[in-house]
Chain A
Amino acid sequence: MIKFGPQNLRIPKFERPVYVVAGGLTDYRKRYPEKNTCQLCTEALRMAVEENDLKLDPEEVRRSVNWCVYSQFADHFGDQLLAAAKVHDYLGFDPLGNIEVKTGGATGGSAVLAAAQAVASGYASCVPVVGWERMDEVSTKVGNSYIASAACKDFESELGWMYAAYYALMAQRYQYENNVPRDTLARIACKNHEYARHSPFAQNPGKYTVKEILENDIVSHPLSFLECCVMSVGAAVLLLCDEPTARRLTDKPVQLKAIAGGSHTLRTADRRHMPILLLPNETPETYADYFGAKRDAWPGFSSFLASRTAAYLAYHMAGIKDPLEDFDLLETHDAFTISDVQTYEDIGLRPYGRGREFIESGDAYFEGRLPTNLSGGLIGTMHAVGATGIFQIVELLWQLQGKYDKFHGDAALWRRYGKEKPTDWRSLQVHNAKRGCAISHAGTGSHVTCAILERV
Chain B
Amino acid sequence: MSIEWPSATLEVVQQRPLTVKNPKTWPHIHSYGGWGRFFAGLQERKILATRCANPRCEEKRLWLPPRCECPDCWHAMDWVEAPQRGRLYTWSIVKYPGELFKLPPDTPLISVELDGVCTKVMSWLKEGKPEIGMPVRAVFNTQRPTHTILDLAWVPA
Residues of A within 8 A of B (CB): 1-3, 33-34, 79, 139, 141-145, 147-148, 152-162, 164-165, 168-173, 176, 217-222, 267-273, 301
Contacts and interface: CB of A to CB of B under 8 A. Distances in A.
Interface stretch (B14-22, B48-56, B77-85): B14-22
Given A162-B96, A218-B95, A169 B109 contact: yes
A272 B96 contact: no
B44 interface: no
B134 interface: no
Interface stretch (B4-12, B97-105, B135-143): B97-105
B35 interface: yes
B90 A220 contact: no
Nearest to A273: B118
A2 B58 CA distance: 11
B139 to A, nearest CB: 15
Contacts of B61: 272
A171 B92 CA distance: 9
Contacts of B92: 165, 168-169, 171-172, 220-222
A162 B98 contact: yes
Contact of A160 (B17, B22, B109, B111): B109
B149 A158 contact: yes
A309 to B, nearest CB: 16
Given A162-B98, A170-B90, 16 more contacts: A33-B14, A141-B96, A142-B98, A143-B98, A144-B96, A145-B99, A154-B65, A159-B122, A159-B123, A159-B124, A165-B94, A217-B95, A220-B92, A220-B94, A221-B94, A301-B111
A33 B110 CA distance: 39
Contacts of B111: 169, 173, 268-269, 301
Nearest to B22: A79
A142 B100 CA distance: 8
A267 B101 CA distance: 18
B71 to A, nearest CB: 8
A368 B109 CA distance: 38
Contacts of A218: 93, 95
Given A141-B98, A162-B98, A220 B149 contact: no
A340 B122 CA distance: 23
From B19, B61, B119, residue with most partner A Cβ within 10 Å: B119
Interface residues of B, number: 42
A176 B119 CA distance: 18
30 contacts: A34-B17, A79-B22, A141-B96, A141-B98, A144-B99, A154-B65, A155-B149, A156-B122, A156-B149, A158-B100, A158-B150, A159-B109, A159-B123, A159-B124, A159-B149, A160-B97, A161-B98, A164-B94, A169-B92, A169-B111, A169-B122, A170-B90, A217-B95, A218-B95, A219-B96, A222-B92, A267-B122, A268-B120, A270-B119, A272-B119
A153 B150 CA distance: 12
Contacts of B95: 217-221
B26 interface: no
B25 interface: no
Contacts of A219: 94-96
Contacts of A273: 118
Interface string B56-90: 00110101010000011000000000000000011
Given A154-B35, A169-B92, A161 B109 contact: no
Nearest to B33: A154
A145 B101 CA distance: 8
Contact of A162 (B91, B101, B123, B150): B101
Given A159-B149, A160-B101, A173-B132, A268 B122 contact: yes
B89 A173 contact: yes
Contacts of A33: 14, 17, 19
A267 B71 CA distance: 14
Contacts of B148: 158
Contact of A161 (B91, B97, B119): B97
Contacts of A143: 98
Contact of B97 (A154, A162, A271, A272): A162
Nearest to B120: A269
B93 A220 contact: yes
From B124, B149, B150, residue with most partner A Cβ within 10 Å: B149
Contacts of A170: 90
B121 interface: yes
A270 B118 CA distance: 7
B104 to A, nearest CB: 12
B98 A269 contact: no
Nearest to A172: B90
From B72, B94, B132, residue with most partner A Cβ within 10 Å: B94
A218 B94 CA distance: 8
Contacts of A271: 119
Nearest to A139: B99
Nearest to B151: A158
